[in-house]
Amino acid sequence: MERLMIQVPDKKSKLVKSLLKELGVVIEPNSFDLSTELNNMVNDGDKPGMDEIVAEIRAVRSKS
């Protein structure tokens, strides 16, 4: 299952939530708290480039 965070205009919030619920999406009321927690877990400093990320993913997949 994937976890997504989306920003919805206030005027469309009820409509979007009802459509998502019809599709079986679970809406978490405290998603902002979760995103803040995840952002705080990321260390400050240099961020890896796309090439580094791809290389790391390939290395992990090759071990499987």
Tens digits of per-residue pLDDT, 13-50?
A: 899 989 999 999 988 777 677 677 777 777 666 777 88
Enumerate residues 6+ apart whose C-beta is below 8 A from 28.
34
Q: What single string gives the DSSP state of each residue in 13-63? A: HHHHHHHHHHTTPPPPTTHHHHHHHHHHHSPSSPPPPHHHHHHHHHHHHHH
**For the chain, which residues make up each domain, given as ranges?**
10-63
Contact predicate 27/17, CB 8 Å: yes
The pLDDT score that the predictor gives to residue 43 is 66
